[in-house]
């Protein structure tokens, strides 16, 4: 009895120690591995299609990775530079007074009455909201430019992380089913619960990646093109803002195209305002209502509030990859909790 207990304690200690050391070894590459998992999931259907025409898994995987490289180094890189350029132009406009119309909106007779009423009720008479809004927009813009510029300057680090990610994607695509089977064998649950857990994780990943990221990109693309055709400055910036805001519940993309529509009407640009209102209502916002049900239908769906906070918390902990990692970690926790409850319920019965 004492010997068995000694072996158990020793085994737990060794597993914990080696697990911690393994984590420290992989820690510098976890971000690249996380992105590799996302890209492997997104492009796995393409890999399967290529595999039908190619005899070797390695060749199909290499071809898929090559397509990923073309997509990232081509349009994505170009759009990244356009985004940085748009943000800089936006800030220059604020500094040069081009966006003085923002203050003109607040001084509009009707809006001014509303603002004055709010100030009076809150005891904030004399507060210059136009100045406050402009200064905060400047701060946010400068922060974004600094972060993006810093990322572009660290070319060596970015390039190495990119290479590590592609390397991992290649093996995830080629050996993915084997990895999944091995992980499944290590799970300390009955086969039925293993299948349930893997199924829920798979559904959550598909819902988050396709139902979240893909929908966000489509909405941002529609918004950016619309802004560009209407002659609105910094179209790429506004398109990126629409993609980001699409993850937020309730207001979502409306928080970007809605105020812009109001701005166009106040400036007397009624034709452009009507076009943006129609595209925003029937195009940008409806994409979410049409695509998401098709993608997520029949799959695990968490409450909107839970997704909202898991996305924000995920971004804070993991960075941009938190858009996916946050909801995924929460889904794993809920799934494991349900499995333990199921096991406990079975034992009590």
- Note the pLDDT of residue 92: 63
The position carrying tokens 């992980």 is 183
**pLDDT, averaged across the chain:** 75
Residue 139 and residue 61 share a domain: yes
Residue 233 and residue 110 share a domain: no
Full domain range(s) for residue 289: 190-343
Q: What is the pLDDT of residues 169-195, one digit of tens each?
A: 999 888 888 887 887 777 777 777 777
pLDDT band at 232 (very low <50, low <70, confident <90, very high): confident
Residue 238 and residue 175 share a domain: no
- Check whether 101 has a pLDDT greater than 60: no
Residue 155 and residue 49 share a domain: yes
Higher-pLDDT residue of 219 and 149 is 219
Can you tell me whether residue 234 is helix, strand or coil? coil
Q: What is the percent of the chain with per-residue pLDDT over 90, rounded to a whole number? A: 0
Alpha-carbon span 231 to 272, nearest angstrom: 9
- Check whether 267 has a pLDDT greater than 70: yes
What total number of domains does the chain contain? 2
- Note the pLDDT of residue 196: 75
User: What is the 8-class DSSP label of residue 231?
Assistant: T
Lowest pLDDT segment from 65-69, 152-156, 258-262, 315-319? 152-156
Question: Does 5 fall in a domain?
Answer: no
Of 186, 218, 251, which residue is a domain's last? 186
Residue 308 and residue 222 share a domain: yes
- Check whether 347 has a pLDDT greater than 80: no
- Check whether 237 has a pLDDT greater than 60: yes
Higher-pLDDT residue of 97 and 192 is 192
Question: Does 11 fall in a domain?
Answer: no
Q: DSSP characters for 142-194? A: HHHHHHHHHHHH-HHHHHHHHHHHHHHHHHHHHHHHHHHHHHHHHS-S-HHHH
Residue 299 and residue 168 share a domain: no
Alpha-carbon span 213 to 307, nearest angstrom: 13
Residue 210 and residue 125 share a domain: no
Higher-pLDDT residue of 210 and 249 is 210
Q: What's the N-to-C CA distance of the chain in angstroms?
A: 30
pLDDT band at 70 (very low <50, low <70, confident <90, very high): confident
Residue 284 and residue 325 share a domain: yes
Alpha-carbon span 293 to 282, nearest angstrom: 16
Residue 239 and residue 321 share a domain: yes
Using CB atoms within 10 A of its CB, is residue 66 exposed (0-12), middle (13-18) or buried (19+)? exposed
Alpha-carbon span 340 to 213, nearest angstrom: 31
Listed in order, strand segments (DSSP E) in 207-281 are none
Residue 295 and residue 214 share a domain: yes
Of 134, 164, 186, which residue is a domain's last? 186
- Note the pLDDT of residue 154: 64
- Note the pLDDT of residue 127: 56
Higher-pLDDT residue of 151 and 234 is 234
Lowest pLDDT segment from 3-17, 28-42, 190-204? 190-204
Higher-pLDDT residue of 129 and 193 is 193
């Amino acid at each position: 009895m004492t010997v068995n207990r000694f072996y158990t304690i020793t085994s737990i200690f060794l597993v914990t120690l080696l697990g911690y050391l393994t984590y420290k070894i992989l820690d510098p590459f976890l971000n690249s591995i996380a992105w590799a998992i996302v890209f492997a999931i997104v492009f796995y259907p393409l890999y399967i299609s290529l595999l039908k025409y190619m005899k070797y898994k390695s060749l199909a995987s290499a071809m898929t990775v090559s397509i990923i490289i073309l997509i990232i180094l081509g349009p994505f890189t170009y759009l990244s530079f356009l985004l940085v350029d748009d943000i800089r132009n936006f800030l220059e406009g604020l500094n040069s007074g081009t966006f003085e119309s923002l203050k003109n909106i607040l001084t509009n007779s009707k809006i001014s009455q509303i603002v004055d009423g709010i100030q009076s009720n809150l005891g904030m008479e004399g507060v210059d909201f136009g100045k406050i809004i402009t200064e905060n927009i400047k701060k946010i813009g400068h922060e974004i430019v600094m972060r993006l510029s810093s990322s572009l300057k660290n070319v060596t680090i970015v390039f190495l992380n990119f290479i590590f990610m592609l390397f991992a994607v290649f093996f995830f695509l080629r050996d993915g089913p084997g990895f999944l089977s091995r992980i499944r064998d290590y799970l300390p649950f009955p086969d039925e619960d293993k299948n349930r857990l893997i199924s829920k994780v798979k559904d959550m990943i598909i819902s988050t990646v396709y139902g979240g990221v893909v929908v966000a990109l489509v909405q941002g693309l529609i918004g950016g093109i619309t802004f560009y055709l209407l002659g609105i400055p910094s179209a790429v910036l506004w398109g990126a803002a629409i993609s980001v805001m699409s993850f937020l519940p309730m207001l979502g993309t409306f928080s970007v195209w809605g105020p812009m529509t109001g701005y166009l009407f106040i400036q007397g640009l009624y034709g452009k305002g009507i076009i943006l209102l129609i595209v925003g209502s029937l195009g940008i916002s409806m994409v979410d209502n049409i695509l998401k049900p098709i993608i997520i239908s029949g799959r695990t769906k968490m409450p909107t509030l839970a997704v909202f906070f898991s996305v924000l918390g995920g971004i804070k902990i993991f960075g941009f990859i938190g858009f996916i990692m946050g909801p995924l970690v929460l889904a794993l926790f809920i799934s494991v909790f349900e499995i333990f409850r199921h096991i406990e319920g079975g034992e009590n019965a």
